[in-house]
Structures are given as C-alpha cells and as structure tokens.
Amino acid sequence: MPVYCYSDEYGCIEEHFFGMGQAPQKIVREDGSIATRDFAAEHTPRRSVAWNPIECLASGVPAHQAQELRDFYHKHGEPIEVTARGKPVYTSAAQRKRALKLRGLHDNDSYM
C-alpha cells in the first residue's frame, strides 16, 4: 500500500496508508482538526520514520514524577521534553542513547 502525506495548518506532516487511488484529499483527525494531502511531502526524500521524535514508554515514569524527570534532564543539560504522562520525547538516536546512559538504563535491542 502506498504512503500518503497530510499536513495541517501548522506544517505538521503525518503519513497514512491507503490503497492505490483511494487516498482522500482531506482527513479529520481524532481531535477534530483537518489535514490536507501534501503532494510535495510525498515526493520529497525524507529521513527514516524511525527517528522522527518519539515518545518512549519504556524509559518513562509515572505521571506524578514527570516534573522530576524534566528537572533531572535540565540539571544534566539534556534538552529532552517530557510529556504530562511522564514519557520522554527523543529527537534522535544519539539523544536517546545519552539519556538512557545518564539514567543508568540499557536497551538490549538498540545495540548500545
């Protein structure tokens, strides 16, 4: 199935899978916002989807400890966003590797 790109008024691009010729021109997201098909984004070389910013559940903390984790990263000079639900948002593999090492965590699947 082909990948189709949609962008919103803020420039956020997301990818969706549809059958050939079945992609709508607009989609309505769960929050009610509308994204329109972005033909330019579909034909632009892009980096691997695997390292778009990701929220990491495995290295997260309970929601009531989210501020503590934000303070920890700030204290150690890491510009890592932590969601209200306690999940860190990594923007690159290198940032994720540094953050896990800083907290004494190890990911067996990441070959670190």
42-86 pLDDT per residue, tens: 887 655 555 578 888 889 999 999 999 999 999 999 999 999 999
Q: Does residue 112 fall inside a structural domain?
A: no
Cα 6 to Cα 2: distance, rounded to the nearest angstrom: 13
- How many structural domains does the chain have? 2
Q: Does residue 79 fall inside a structural domain?
A: yes
Are 37 and 55 in the same domain? no
Q: Does residue 26 fall inside a structural domain?
A: yes
Are 92 and 75 in the same domain? yes
Cα 90 to Cα 70: distance, rounded to the nearest angstrom: 13
Are 99 and 65 in the same domain? yes
Q: Look up the domain containing 35 and give its range.
A: 3-46
Are 41 and 22 in the same domain? yes
Residue 6 near residue 38 (C-beta atoms within 8 A):
yes
Region 20-39: what's the mean pLDDT?
Answer: 90
Burial of 55 (0-12, 13-18, 19+ CB in 10 A): middle
Q: Does residue 89 fall inside a structural domain?
A: yes
Region 32-46: what's the mean pLDDT?
Answer: 84
Rg (CA), the chain: 17
Are 57 and 99 in the same domain? yes
Are 17 and 64 in the same domain? no
Cα 73 to Cα 77: distance, rounded to the nearest angstrom: 6
Residue 102 near residue 70 (C-beta atoms within 8 A):
no
Position 112 pLDDT exceeds 50: no
